[in-house]
């Protein structure tokens, strides 16, 4: 079969359309955003974050309201988690943050529990009440060796 310029052009268009679709899906499913102007930044410090990672969901009552922006080591050698929460969400200063798993072996996310105070967290504030990730390996080790199980 002989290659013609028209057929080469049409095949090229199909390839370009396919690459464009793959690029669009990668960006939209990957969660990339052009900016975080509609979110407030909060900080929470944990001694154990388990498998929590950047871009993990932040939820309230199971509804996604934001994502983890950054995880860094604090001066006290704890994990300092910076999270972005939708700007319309009002969180009292006594709100708490806990690292949870989606199912037994699922991905980890940050669950927020609103408090009852009248004063609200402001951008850049730190959530004072945190609950560390459950360390399955440590629990299994304690069970196997029979220590710290309240015997």
For the stretch 113-135, pLDDT in tens is 999 999 999 999 999 999 888 77
List b or e across 37-56, with b for residues whose CB sees 16 or more CB atoms inside 10 angstroms.
eebbebbbbbeebbebeeeb
Residue (of 50, 49, 48, 68) closest to 58 by Cα position: 68
User: Is the full-model pTM beyond 0.85?
Assistant: no
Strands 126-127 and 108-113: unpaired
Supply angle C-alpha 24, 32, 88, rounded to 5: 125
For the stretch 63-95, pLDDT in tens is 999 999 999 998 888 999 999 999 889 999 999
How does DSSP assign 31-90, residue by residue? T--S--TTEEEEEEEES--TT--TT-EEEETTEEEEEEEEEEE-TTSSEEEEEEEETT--
Answer yes or no: is pLDDT of 151 > 50: no
| Mean pLDDT over the full length of the chain | 85
């Amino acid at each position: 079969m002989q290659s013609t310029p028209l057929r080469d052009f049409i095949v090229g268009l199909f390839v370009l359309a396919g690459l464009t679709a793959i690029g669009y899906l990668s960006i939209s499913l990957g969660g990339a955003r052009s900016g975080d102007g509609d979110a407030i930044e909060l900080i929470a410090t944990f001694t154990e974050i388990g498998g929590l990672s950047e871009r993990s969901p932040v939820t309230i009552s199971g509804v996604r309201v934001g994502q983890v922006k950054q995880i860094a080591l604090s001066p006290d050698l704890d994990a300092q988690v910076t999270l972005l929460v939708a700007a319309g969400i009002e969180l009292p200063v006594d709100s708490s943050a806990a690292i949870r798993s989606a199912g037994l072996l699922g991905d980890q996310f940050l669950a927020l529990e609103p408090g009852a105070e009248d004063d609200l967290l402001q951008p850049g504030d730190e959530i004072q009440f945190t609950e560390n990730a459950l360390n399955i390996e440590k629990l299994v080790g304690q069970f196997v060796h029979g220590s710290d199980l309240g015997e």
